[in-house]
Amino acid sequence: MDRRKFLIGLGMALIAGPAVISLKGCGKSSSDNAAAPANGFSLTSNPDTTGHSHNVTILLADLANPPSGGVTYTSDGSHTHQITLTQQQLTDINSGGSDSVTSTFVAGHSHEWTIRKPAA
């Protein structure tokens, strides 16, 4: 391999590598299960149009004693989204109801979560 071919190949690898990592690292696929922490529960969003999703963890303490201003949660992933639950939504979820919320619009898209407290 001559020097020119090597440098062209190296340049292509330097450009393509981060793009692949960025696409792969956006979030978990919709088939992944969110890990359940001891002090809360994790939920996976509905996939966006590119097929990726994110996880968010809801703390049980927030459900048991909902702050008057509500709570904003941040998702996982190489970019993050935020969802905000009002005091009333937290109360409803704690009482066994569910609520659908849409995340902030980041990186050209948003996600939707259906939040329901898991059965004990």
Percent of residues in the chain assigned helix, strand, coil, to nearest 5: 30, 30, 40
Q: Does some domain include residue 4?
A: no
Residue 10: pLDDT over 90: no
Interacting residues of 90 by C-beta distance below 8 A, sequence separation 6+ = 62, 63, 66, 70, 71
Per the structure, the complete domain to which residue 108 belongs is given by 28-116
Give pLDDT tens digits for 51-67.
Answer: 899 999 999 999 999 99
Give pLDDT tens digits for 69-116.
Answer: 999 999 999 999 999 999 999 999 999 999 999 999 999 999 999 999
Q: Give the pLDDT score at 38.
A: 83
- Integer Cα distance of 95 and 100 in angstroms: 15
Q: Does some domain include residue 9?
A: no
Q: How many domains does the chain have?
A: 1
Name the band, by pLDDT with cuts 50, 70 and 90, for residue 5.
Answer: low
